[in-house]
Amino acid sequence: MPKDPDGNVKKYLYTQNREISWLRFNSRVLEEAADETVPLLERLKFISIFTSNLDEFFMVRVGSLFDLSLVSPDEIDNKTGMTPAEQLEKIYRMIPGMIVRRDQLYRIVSEKLEQAGICDVNMNSVDAAEKRYIQQYFRAKILPILSPQIVDSHHPFPHLINKALYIAALLHDKKENISLGLIPVPASLPPFLMLPGEKGRYIRMETLIKNYASELFGSFRTEDLCVLSVTRNADISFDEDKFDDIEGDFRTHMSELLKKRNRLSIIRLELSNEISGAFMKLLKKRIHVTDYQIYIGKAPLNMKYVFALEDELSGKDGGSLSYQPYHPRWPEDLREDMSMIEQIQARDRMLFFPFDRVDPFLRLLNEAAEHPDVISIKITIYRLASTSKIAHALCRAAENGKEVTALMELRARFDEQNNISWSKVLEDSGCQVIYGVEGYKCHSKICLITLRQGEKLQYISQLGTGNYNEKTNTMYTDLSLMTADPKIGLDGTVFFQNMLLGNLNGNYEKLLVAPTGIRSYLLDRIDREIQKGQEGYVCIKANAMTERRIIDKLQEASCAGVHVDLILRGICCLLPGISELTENIHVTSIVGRFLEHARIYCFGRGEDAEMYISSADMMTRNLNRRVEIACPVTDPDLRQMLREIIRTELEDNVKASEMLPDGTYRRKADGGLPVDSQVVFMEKSLHKEENRMAAPKQHHHGGIAQRLRDLFSHK
């Protein structure tokens, strides 16, 4: 058993490595592809999501461990005591079995799709007309832009682009000298070609080019062919998030790394099929990988094409191959013919995405843009939709003379360019765009609308768990609170003032603000529940839990008899159910049609419980190195709404899995009626929407209490 520097063994008995926990989460994504109740194209999409997740895992997390193994090889993981090399060894041992399972499911789903008329063909399975069409397309559209390359003693090995596809060939010249042939699959080409005739037959571009590879190398004889792709360490931004659990100085680590690392080194080689020993030996020599870094899969090496395929096939077979379209409702406690500002001033409101439409918030922004009493709008922006109605509302407000301030995070991973583009649009419209505090990502979700009514200032505050992105609002479960609470409004004013000044140590009356305010509050409230012993209760719903101090405090709470429910979609480094350590801790993970994204903190039971919604996960980066906000929920009806969300998700026995003491998961199954929490929310929402559409003039003034009884009650 490993020990920490102080010789402590116990601290590792109830924790697991974050990378291993993440791999177990991704396995649960793959489970959705095995679920026969999921439509076939959706099952294929889950395989694609699993594959893309794994790609990013190698680029970011495995890449960070390679970096760490260079600059600090003796650095130990504070959950397991493993060094970077030991973590890498465990990761590389675990992944092959996952790839085998992925390939099995890909074969099963592909066969079922073929029966439904959706077929990923190869050149051996096309008819004469299709073959002529492919040949014509290749000669006209593909051949002119191909760039075959010979790699031998006279030609240097080219730079292989991260995750690009290449056709690789083992070549022999007339003297039987061996060379390596490479054909990059041009990124400008579509990922697949739909074939003429009955809609549903297609050939992937790499399959098509591979078929013609032999004739592209002229006089060389082609002995062996495959599609290959390399994964590189993608840590080009030196993002401190990658070193979440390193307790030393990050900048020192990075300065050392710059001296030692092989920039963007290859950490994985993927091949589409088995190849000869001579070919493999040549690839290993040229690409500089070892056996444990090589993966041979039977599924496509890049599966991002699946989403475009679904768009191409939309409408086929009555849509039975995909989820039926879901249309969120307008919340029945809100009137469509009444001012949003007035309704929020009457009492707090909350939207529950994707089951509620985002329209009430959009209407609030548009109303604020025109309202004569509104003097300013301030908002934090982490991710925006590419065609953002929210951004357009902010621009119109600025053009109407309102003071609009947007705190824009330019380092939102993979959304950097989109945010840069929107920042220019906002500035051109007269908005003040600021970029937060150096070294700290602003991940908080707050919008503050200030009104001058007479001699008084009044506030409408919106605080949420998810991004201001209308696209993800239809795919992620999130919460959006809208309140006229003056104390929250004043806190919001102080927050934006602090951000303008770069002050991370502000004082707030009701809001909790990281990096200084959330973790200390959480630890204090868990301590309060510890004082209650067996009467204590803690529930945290979030995306992940890695923060060591929170983990240790929850373990202490379990030993005191406190009941702890954790609803964590992804990583959980805390192992539950370990006798005399974490036996009162229960961990649930839900993976379904919508990505679980809402964060709820609950301490205590009944009317005395303290309840917050938050932008922050229980991760070191969120609580230490990001600007996050948690907001109390005090309205009785909204508190009941949060309780019912928690209760329904804890009762889920269809899409929910429970973590076992060894860190693995098993599906919940209590033998009772099946409860799919997302379906419960959807069905109730659809039923209410139908009623509203059938009787559009009937407004439910009694409001949210009845909505909750209808929305969350079980048949």
Instruction: Cite the active site residues.
Output: 443
CA–CA distance, 527 with 298 (Å, rounded to integer): 51
Residue 394: C-alpha distances to residues 163, 298, 371, 507 (Å): 37, 48, 13, 28
3-class DSSP string for 497-530: HHHHHCCCCCCCCCCEEECCCHHHHHHHHHHHHH
Single-letter residue type at 30:
L
Single-letter residue type at 429:
S
Q: What are phi and psi of 578, to 5 degrees?
A: -90, 125
Residue 683, helix vs strand vs coil: helix
Asked whether 488 and 496 are in contact (CB, 8 A), the reply is no
Q: What are phi and psi of 136, to 5 degrees?
A: -65, -40
Asked whether 628 and 518 are in contact (CB, 8 A), the reply is yes
Residue 130, helix vs strand vs coil: helix
Tell me how far apart the terminal alpha carbons of the chain are, to the nearest angstrom.
50
Helices (H), 316-388: 340-346, 359-370
CA–CA distance, 366 with 190 (Å, rounded to integer): 39
- Could you identify the residue written with the tokens 């005395």? 608
Asked whether 433 and 408 are in contact (CB, 8 A), the reply is yes
CA–CA distance, 262 with 244 (Å, rounded to integer): 22
Cα dihedral across residues 66, 67, 70, 73: positive or negative? negative
Tokens representing 138 are: 């290749």
- Could you identify the residue written with the tokens 């909350």? 350
Asked whether 120 and 191 are in contact (CB, 8 A), the reply is no
DSSP string of 52-121? HHHHHIIIIIIHHHHHHHHH-TT---TTT---HHHHHHHHHHHHHHHHHHHHHHHHHHHHHHHHTT-EE-
- Could you identify the residue written with the tokens 């370990």? 578
Q: What are phi and psi of 618, to 5 degrees?
A: -85, 55
DSSP string of 287-329? HT--GGGEEE-SS-S--THHHHHHHHTTTGGGGTTSPPP--PB
Q: What are phi and psi of 223, to 5 degrees?
A: -95, -35
Asked whether 574 and 555 are in contact (CB, 8 A), the reply is yes
Asked whether 434 and 406 are in contact (CB, 8 A), the reply is yes
- Could you identify the residue written with the tokens 């191909």? 146
> Dihedral through CA 102, CA 108, CA 113, CA 117, nearest 10?
130
Residue 178, helix vs strand vs coil: strand
Query: Which is nearest to 378 in space by CA: 399, 406, 340, 410?
Result: 406
Number of Cβ within 10 Å of residue 697's Cβ equals 5
